[in-house]
Amino acid sequence: MYPPMNRDELVKLVKELIREAGLRPRKTLGQHFTIDPRLIEEIKNLALSFKCSDQLVVEIGSGFGFLTAPLSRTCGRIISIELDRRLYNLAKHFISSCCRNVELVLGDALSILENIDKYQGVIGSIPYSITGPLLSIIARGSAEWAILVLQKDVIDRISSPPGTREYGSISVLVNLTFKVRKGNIYPPHSFYPEPEVFSQTVILERKKESIAVDKDLERFLKCLFSQRRRLVHKAVKICTGIEIPSIKTRVFQMTPEEIYSLYQRSASEKATLLSPDGY
């Protein structure tokens, strides 16, 4: 059975593959390979709970295929994206022989995911460097759910309520679009080589009446939270040029729904100002 569902065997296999292929894991690409069978099992079971047996799922980061293989026996069809050609060649050799419902793609996950239509789920252990952009693409896309492994502090930030230090634009964007649920926490030794931080699974399930996310909204949120301690009406004026009535609340104290209402209001007023008749 591949991969072996035993931590010691996984560690041994990873080291052998790295040595045989002459690989040197790249920190810049977030290459920390999963060697914890509990993490693989958790993701597989979560995918099963979303009834992925007849769905198209996108996997971010094929790695050696340790997660791809069990997912192929759970989900209907998988597009697995790998940026590193060395890993792609290793994974391709295995996946082509065991997993006929997997399409392995070499390239940048952000640009590829942006151009895939009608996928139901996203799964992956995500490097810190692409976490924000990836969450934005998932929010804009068609995914009904996502199961991601992120740095624990990133998940804490996503889950932070208004008024807290960690609350920011990504908290607002994700919570406007998805129900957020935290999964299990994994220590550094769940990966090889070990990262310097703890990781955690997060489960995102799209809300039935979620908002339509676009890049204008993303720009608005980023600008607003660059002024996070300003009074709301002053921050809106800076970001949009639109004047709204004075609000004795600061940006970081507003709920996601209140901030979205501000966005709709300012967008509507801007459209009126730009119309030929001015009203």
Total domain count, the chain: 2
Lowest-confidence segment of 12-26, 107-121, 153-167, 230-244 by average pLDDT: 12-26
Task: Identify whether residues 21 and 100 lie together within a single domain.
Answer: yes
Cβ(64)–Cβ(14) under 8 Å? yes
Peptide bond into 3 cis (omega under 30): yes
The whole-number average pLDDT for the span 166-174 is 97
Do 139 and 50 reside in the same domain of the chain? yes
Contact in structure between 220 and 240 (CB atoms under 8 Å): yes
Q: How far is CA 125 from the centre of its chain?
A: 9
Is pLDDT at 276 greater than 70 in this prediction? no
Please say whether the beta carbons of 66 and 166 come within 8 A.
no
Is residue 54 a part of any domain in this protein? yes
The whole-angstrom separation of Cα 88 and Cα 100 is: 16
| Residue 277: predicted pLDDT | 60
Read off φ and ψ for residue 62, nearest 5 degrees: -70, -35
Residue 29 located in a structural domain: yes
pLDDT of 279 above 60: no
Residue pointed to by tokens 């593959």? 17
d(CA 68, CA 61): 9
Is residue 1 included in any domain, yes or no? no
Reported as a single tens digit per residue, the pLDDT across 191-207 is 999 999 999 999 999 99
Residue 136 lies in a domain: yes
CB–CB of 140/176 below 8 Å? no
- The burial class, CB within 10 Å (0-12 / 13-18 / 19+), for 259 is buried
Question: Among residues 104, 100, 95, 110, which one has the least CA distance to residue 3?
Answer: 95
pLDDT digits (tens, 9 = 90+) for 147-166: 999 999 999 999 999 999 99
Contact 35, 29 (CB under 8 A): no
Among 169, 188, 206, identify where a domain stops: 206
Whether 195 and 222 map to the same domain: the answer is no
Q: Are residue 157 and residue 43 in the same domain, yes or no?
A: yes
Q: Are 71 and 63 in contact (CB under 8 A)?
A: no
Where in the sequence is the domain holding 247, given as residue range(s)? 215-274
- Read off the CATH number of the domain in which 200 is found: 3.40.50.150
Q: pTM for this structure? A: 0.93
pLDDT score for 31: 87
Does residue 160 sit in the same domain as residue 263? no
Phi and psi, residue 182, nearest 5°: -85, 140
From the list 243, 169, 238, 192, the residue with the least C-alpha distance to 13 is: 192
Q: What are phi and psi of 243, to 5 degrees?
A: -95, 130
Residues 139 and 186 in one domain: yes
Burial pattern 148-163, b for ≥16 Cβ within 10 A else e, equals: bbbbbebbebbbbebe
